[in-house]
């Protein structure tokens, strides 16, 4: 689930209509025992919609003991608290995601293969913890944000809303619409790559052009931008007067800009939803006309597009997740790449702490590694196996 900043308020004033993720905190404690068993305890807090429709969360179906409760934050808003725990016997495979077994969308969620290895060496017993957060693709959409939210747009966005001229508001709306157009095109291309590898290149390009034309006809690319993206017949400049329609950028600003804030936000959201829906319909129409897509073909494409859209949504949401991972190992830490180490002399154990956010694994892996050594004289003797359980 994603939350949009106000198009007319915070969006116009700040980060210009970017779709941002809500804040979710993910605190996790992983305790490795001397026998190799592992206990994982988590507390995840965020909006109910975020934790229900975003990344996969621990659930009874995936083998976790889960407790759910709602609580109010300091600002009065309610948030959902998920407390989960699970114990793994020595040698059990540790989780690589929170997706339930058999979930058809499991590959869309965050993956974090985790392992513990125990080695006996001459100077003691070594415990190696390793977890790798698998990279999430992100550059394929970030490029357009970097391109369209340029320095000029950022300067405009830094102004108070009341000081923005009509022209400045139009530029910000056009910047957002441009990002949305090319993101939508990229997701559609990704869907076709998954469901129809035999589609002719010229048909794919024609469908993409039809999608972009919807934005262009409503002057969503700005006066300096051509309506067409492909082909030699593209006009050199957009005729903004000729493009005037009830849903072009000027009409939208006039209609939505002078209403109350809540109505204004709803008005802009409706317009953006209409714009993306119309562009999607044009894309699909070309697939029907040029590539003779059947009802089955369209259903296959829509399913693939939904998956591409959800992958992006999960990645976007994860950018607002704050991770805190604590790993407790027997003995003394001898190597790690964490942020802090705490020693518990009484229990002869050590804890390593990592803090990072969900942007850490955008187009790169985030690796957590810690190694501890337990001296031989601290290792508990093995059970003798006699009937009364004595050593």
Tens-digit pLDDT string for the chain (391 aa): 443 333 344 333 333 334 445 589 999 999 999 999 999 999 999 999 999 999 999 999 889 999 999 998 888 889 999 999 999 999 999 999 999 988 999 999 999 999 999 999 999 999 999 999 999 999 999 999 999 998 999 999 888 877 888 888 889 889 999 999 999 999 999 999 999 999 999 999 999 999 999 999 999 997 444 434 444 444 433 444 444 466 788 888 887 766 676 777 788 888 889 999 999 999 999 999 999 999 999 999 999 999 999 999 999 999 999 999 999 999 999 999 999 999 999 999 999 999 999 999 999 999 999 999 999 876 665 444 443 433 3
151 assigned to some structural domain: yes
Dist CA 96 CA 235 (whole Å): 51
Q: What is the dihedral of CA 216, 217, 218, 221, to 10 degrees?
A: 20
309 assigned to some structural domain: yes
What's the pLDDT score for residue 4?
38
What's the pLDDT score for residue 169?
86
Dist CA 27 CA 21 (whole Å): 18
Structural tokens at position 327: 């790993």
Helices (H), the chain: 10-13, 48-53, 139-148, 151-157, 166-195, 201-217, 249-256, 261-291, 295-318
* Domain, as residue range, for 150: 139-316
Smallest CA-to-CA distance from 354 within 370, 371, 377 is with: 370
Structural tokens at position 341: 């180490």
51 assigned to some structural domain: no
Give SS3 for 287.
Answer: helix
Dist CA 230 CA 157 (whole Å): 31
Cα radius of gyration (the chain): 26
User: What strand order describes the sheet that includes 65-72?
Assistant: 65-72, 78-88, 38-46, 24-32, 321-330, 349-357, 340-344
Q: Where are the beta strands (DSSP E) in 47-144?
A: 65-72, 78-88, 114-121, 124-133
Contact 188, 279 (CB under 8 A): no
Smallest CA-to-CA distance from 135 within 113, 110, 115 is with: 110
Beta bridge partners of 130: 115, 369
Report which secondary-structure segment, H or E, holds 5: none
286 assigned to some structural domain: yes
Q: Give the sign of the dihedral formed by CA 96, CA 97, CA 99, CA 105.
A: negative
Dist CA 230 CA 232 (whole Å): 7
Dist CA 92 CA 38 (whole Å): 9
24 assigned to some structural domain: no
Smallest CA-to-CA distance from 208 within 276, 312, 127, 287 is with: 287
242 assigned to some structural domain: yes
Dist CA 345 CA 331 (whole Å): 9
Instruction: Report how many domains make up the chain.
Output: 1
What's the pLDDT score for residue 3?
39
374 assigned to some structural domain: no
Q: What angle do CA 216, 190, 237 make, to 5 degrees?
A: 15
**What is the pTM for the complete model shown?**
0.85
Structural tokens at position 42: 């988590």
190 assigned to some structural domain: yes
């Amino acid at each position: 689930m994603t939350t949009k900043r106000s198009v007319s308020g915070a969006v116009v004033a700040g980060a210009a209509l970017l779709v941002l993720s809500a804040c979710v905190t993910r605190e996790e404690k992983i305790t490795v025992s001397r026998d190799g068993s592992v206990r994982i305890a988590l507390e995840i807090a965020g909006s109910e919609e975020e934790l229900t429709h975003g990344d996969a969360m621990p659930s009874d179906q995936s083998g976790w003991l889960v407790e759910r409760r709602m609580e109010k934050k300091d600002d009065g808003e309610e948030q959902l608290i998920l407390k989960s725990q699970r114990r793994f016997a020595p040698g059990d495979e540790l989780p690589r995601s929170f997706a339930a077994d058999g979930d058809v969308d499991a590959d869309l969620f965050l993956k974090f293969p985790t392992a513990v290895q125990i080695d006996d060496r001459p100077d003691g017993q070594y415990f190696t913890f390793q977890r790798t957060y698998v990279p999430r693709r992100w550059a394929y959409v970030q490029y357009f944000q970097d391109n369209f939210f340029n320095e000029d747009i950022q300067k405009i966005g830094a102004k108070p809303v009341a000081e923005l001229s009509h022209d400045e508001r139009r530029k910000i709306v056009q910047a957002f619409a441009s990002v949305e157009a090319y993101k939508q095109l990229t997701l559609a291309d990704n869907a076709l790559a998954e469901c129809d590898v035999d589609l002719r290149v010229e048909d794919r390009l024609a469908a993409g052009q039809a999608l972009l034309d919807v934005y262009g006809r409503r002057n969503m690319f700005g006066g300096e931008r051509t309506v067409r993206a492909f082909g030699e017949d593209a006009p050199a400049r957009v005729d903004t007067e000729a493009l005037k329609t009830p849903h072009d950028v000027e009409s939208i600003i006039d209609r939505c800009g002078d209403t109350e804030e809540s109505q204004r936000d709803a008005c802009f959201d409706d317009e953006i939803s209409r714009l993306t829906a119309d562009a999607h319909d044009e894309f699909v129409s070309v697939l029907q006309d040029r590539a003779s897509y059947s009802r089955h073909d369209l259903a296959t494409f829509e399913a693939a597009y939904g998956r591409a859209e959800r992958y992006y949504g999960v990645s976007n949401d994860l950018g607002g997740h704050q991770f805190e991972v604590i790993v407790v190992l027997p003995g003394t830490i001898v190597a790690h790449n964490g942020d802090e180490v705490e020693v518990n002399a009484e229990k002869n154990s050590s804890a390593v702490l990592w803090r990072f956010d969900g942007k850490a694994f955008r187009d790169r892996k985030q690796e957590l590694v810690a190694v501890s050594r337990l001296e031989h004289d601290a290792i508990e003797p093995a059970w003798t196996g006699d009937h009364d359980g004595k050593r």
